[in-house]
Amino acid sequence: MAKTILNGLLATATAVGLSFPSIASAQSLDEVMEARGLTQQDLLAAAKTYTPTGGRDEFIVFSSGGQSGQIMVYGVPSMRILKYVSVFTPEPWQGYGFDEESKAVLEQGRIDGKLLNWGDTHHPAISETDGDLDGEWLFINDKSAPRIGLVSLHDFETQQIVVNPIMQSEHGGAFVTPNTDYIIEATQYPAPLGRGFAPLSEFNEKYRGAVTYWKFDREAGRIDQSKSFSLELPPYSQDLSDAGKLVSDGWSFTNSFCAERYVGGIESGRPPFEAGCSQNDTDYLHVINWEKAVGVYEAGKVEMINDHPVIMMDTAIEEGLVYLIAEPKSPHGVDVSPDGEYIVVGGKLDTHASVYSFSKIMAAVEAGNFSGTDPYGIPIISMEDALHVQVALGLGPLHNQFDSKECVIYTSLYVDSQVAKWDYCEGKLLDKISIHYNIGHLVAMEGESVHPAGKYLISLNKLAIDRFNPVGPLHPQNHQLIDISGDKMELLYDMPVPLGEPHYAAAIAAEKLKPLVRYRYGTNSRTGGKHEGAVRPGQERIERDGDTVTVYMTAIRSHFTPEIVEVNEGDTVRFVVTNSERAEDETHGFSISTFDVNLSLEPGKTATAEIVADRPGVYSYYCTEFCSALHLEMTGYLVVKPEGYVEEATVGEEGTLWTEADYKKQVETNVQTQGVIDSVVVYITSRNFQDFPEVVALVEDATDQLTFAEDAKAKSEAAATESDWQNATLWAGQWWQYQVKAADIGLRAKNFLDEEGAVVTAE
């Protein structure tokens, strides 16, 4: 076995560095087109999306995962899925909900004492600086239970969940203000504020909507609930929101449906909600001066509901914080143009998109030019006074996204299954493209920022029907990539997504994201701070405190320290495990048979698996990531001794006893291996490796491994001087294990230098 691996290493070492000329494919492009029935157009689309091995994408998309409670991350234009970030739902691979640190995050999402393991993610928002996406943080709402999740874009992990103290359901979040001072969250279905009871017969009097402004403390990297407040709104079903920007900064916009305040009851013979809620020709766009509202909140003009400050409607009206504008029947999206002047609303049940002018709205507010008030006394600005232009686009206009080209906007048409490209300044239709089928949201690159990036648009479809190989009655979702760089939109690619309904997505230039390669040693990734249980190699220990046993453990290729943990039946056992690797992508896992735990330990991370050892037995634990050639050997035993068990003084017998000859043979192998390592070291150090941070990191890691090798070598030699051939051989074996890891890393570094064209700087 040892010999085989060594030969392999030697072979790789010689092969690396030799480059073979690429052999041309036997087939020509024409033959492939013919054989696969592809058109010129198909080839063009393929060339625009194909990303060769090792290639990177220009944009990164964060898509809501709907009923999965997650976020999906993928690249554009390749449409390759890179990650699922779990927010409201456990995710086993990444240990989310299977380690204590992430359970603490899910715990924050408890509502009225109840732990929820399901969420319906709808609208992600990337943090902004001066209205541009800055790639630091991501917020997403849960429509089903009124919650907002916060994801760090340094490690793509969920770090906080906040529960809305007054809402029963929500939809119009998460939308950020241009400097991420606040995250906006608006209700969906009206209910008594504070989630109490009131009979439906008192709907008009006791039921309410609301919008919450969550304060974001960027320095702390947390939503600060103690500086957040809400505004009471009428019991219309508030829908989507958007924050004003530039000229309209300081204002926010939330539309609504069911301004009829209709309550269904199909079972008692009343027409259903869908009929009663779409009877009127108009609903209301709420126009809110949040900046002024902050002052009103700080002046204490609030009522406390569930310990949360709420500016009640009377105060809001008196202080001039809220206005309504009639908008066409059951609208859906509301989106503010990059310059902040226009607010575009999709009609949904109306064929028009309506463009409101912020300066016209302000003129009406300043002149006190209102057409009346709603039943709660909120001033209504007439549609004519606020409207810039209305354009008939087609059936079911829903959501809008902006292009980098001035005045160009894209609107999804749900019923028509089309995207309309139009000019919102002039009010004219420019182009249409059919999608398959029934588009909901759409996302253009940085299309909601003050500087949209254009280039691509993605249609987030509600149905796939016949687009993919059938996989049973539940079809995958379909994200369709569209090229918007030219005058005509061109469909490029269909991406099936087996995750959950995509609602909204946010797309950012990849270069703006600065994710970590490894954690600072001993990081609790869910707080971002140092883990109090982190230990360095050599500090591992097992501590007992009453019935609680804490195992301070490290993980490195390819062993845990300690490897045997003995406890008593009934003990609570906490395994606090730190991955002491530095090498990029050297993640270890940790699971204990039948205890329903899994840790994902990326380099530098510390996480905890806590179990109650309630059944006597012997439970193996092992690393769940294939991390090295001896990954299967990365294991240990949790021994749970039955109550009253008395240990007998016996000595375990080894399976094999090693001799001096075995020791010498192993040492010989090690000397040869060292020869390979030395040659790789010469290769690397004679080149400008310092110019490549990736290689510097690999070299540091290899140096670590060689230090461990030295330590094992010393132990083996000490045993040999005492003629303890058993331990001498085994420690020589461990010495070799560290050498193999160092050689593996060294070859990776050498390979990298070859590919990147490093130059010889020394002989």
- Closer residue to ligand CUA, CB minimum distance, 50 or 626: 626
d(CA 596, CA 611): 9
588 binds, among ligand CUA, ligand K7E, none (CB under 5 to 8 A by kind): ligand CUA
- Among 332, 388, 421, 518, interactor with ligand K7E by CB under 6 A: 332
Q: What are the backbone angles phi and psi of residue 229, rounded to the nearest 5°?
A: -150, 170
748 contact, one of ligand K7E, ligand CUA, none, CB 5-8 Å limit per kind: none
Q: Shortest gap between Cβ of 158 and ligand K7E (angstroms)?
A: 20
> Which member of 178, 244, 340, 440 binds ligand K7E (CB under 6 A)?
440
CB of 141 to ligand K7E, least distance (A): 9
> 287 vs 623, which CB is nearer to ligand CUA?
623
CB of 240 or CB of 698, closer to ligand K7E:
240
> x/- binding map, residues 243-272, to ligand K7E, per CB under 6 A?
------------------------------
441 contacts ligand K7E (rule: CB under 6 A): yes
Residue 229 CB, nearest approach to ligand K7E (Å) = 24
* Shortest separation between residue 627's beta carbon and ligand CUA, angstroms: 3
Q: 16 or 630, CB closer to ligand CUA? A: 630
Query: Looking at 147, 154, 171, 713, which residue binds ligand K7E (CB under 6 A)?
Result: 171
Instruction: Answer with the entry of ligand CUA, ligand K7E, none that 631 interacts with (C-beta below 5 to 8 A by kind).
Output: ligand CUA
Residue closer to ligand K7E (CB basis): 461 or 737: 461
Closest to 484 measured CA to CA, from 460, 454, 451, 510 = 454
* Min separation Cβ 351 and ligand K7E, Å: 17
- The residue among 118 and 626 lying less far from ligand CUA, judged by its C-beta, is 626
Residue recorded with tokens 């686009």: 393
Minimal CA–CA distance to 710: which of 736, 745, 684? 736
Which residue has tokens 């429509």? 143
In angstroms, give the least distance from the CB of 553 to ligand CUA: 12
Q: Is 123 in the site for ligand K7E (CB under 6 A)?
A: yes
CB neighbours of 80 closer than 8 A, spacing ≥ 6?
51, 57, 74
CA-CA distance, 238 to 211, in Å (whole number)?
Answer: 9
Number of Cβ within 10 Å of residue 591's Cβ equals 19
The conformational region for residue 365 under phi > 0 = left, psi -120 to 50 = alpha, else beta, is: alpha
Q: Name the 3-class secondary structure at 762.
A: coil
In angstroms, give the least distance from the CB of 586 to ligand CUA. 8
Closest CA to 434 of 473, 384, 472, 395: 395
- For the CB of residue 693, give the shortest distance to ligand CUA in the complex, in Å: 25
Of 354 and 587, nearer to ligand CUA (C-beta) is 587
Shortest Å distance, C-beta 398 to ligand K7E: 5
Which helix (H) or strand (E) segment is 431 a member of? strand 428-434
Q: Are the beta carbons of 78 and 94 closer than 8 angstroms?
A: no
Who's near 486: CB < 8 A, 6+ residues apart? Answer: none
Q: Which residue, 157 or 242, is less far from ligand K7E as judged by CB?
A: 242
Instruction: Quote the CA–CA distance of 265 and 281 in Å, as a whole number.
Output: 22
Q: Buried b vs exposed e over 733-742: b needs ≥16 C-beta within 10 Å?
A: bbbbbbbbbb
Q: Which does 360 bind (CB under 5 to 8 A by kind): ligand CUA, ligand K7E, none?
A: none
List, in order, residues 6 or more apart from 37 with CB less than 8 Å away: none
**Tokens (6 digits) for 237:** 């079903």
Q: Which residue's CB is nearer to ligand CUA, number 175 or number 621?
A: 621
Q: Among ligand CUA, ligand K7E, none, what binds residue 625 when CB lies within 5 to 8 Å by partner kind?
A: ligand CUA
Asked if 559 touches ligand K7E (CB under 6 A), the answer is no
Which residues bind to ligand CUA, rule: CB under 6 A?
Answer: 558, 588, 623, 625-627, 631, 634
Site for ligand K7E in 477-516 (CB under 6 A): 503-504
Block residue for tokens 């249609």: 459
* Residue 147 interacts with ligand K7E (CB under 6 A): yes or no: no
Minimal distance in Å, beta carbon 405 to ligand K7E? 24
Residue 686: how many other CB atoms lie within 10 Å? 14
Across the beta sheet with 334-336, the strand order is 334-336, 342-346, 352-357, 387-392
- Which of ligand CUA, ligand K7E, none binds 623 (CB below 5-8 Å, type-dependent)? ligand CUA
Among candidates 610, 611, 606, which has minimal Cα distance to 532?
Answer: 606
- 396 vs 636, which CB is nearer to ligand K7E? 396
Task: Indicate which of ligand CUA, ligand K7E, none lies near residue 634 (CB less than 5 to 8 Å, by partner kind).
Answer: ligand CUA
Which residues touch 606 (CB under 8 Å, ≥6 apart)?
522, 523, 524, 531, 533, 534, 576, 577, 578, 579
Buried b (16+ CB within 10 A) or exposed e, 596-611: ebbbbbbbbbbbbbbb
Q: Which residues contact 516 (CB under 8 A, 6 or more apart)?
A: 154, 155
The secondary structure of residue 754, as a DSSP letter, is: H
In terms of CB distance, is 440 or 452 closer to ligand K7E?
A: 440
Q: Which residue's CB is nearer to ligand CUA, number 281 or number 585?
A: 585
Judge whether 104 and 425 are in contact, CB under 8 Å: no
346 touches ligand K7E by CB under 6 A: no
Residues that bind ligand K7E (CB under 6 A): 122-123, 171, 240, 332, 398-399, 440-441, 503-504
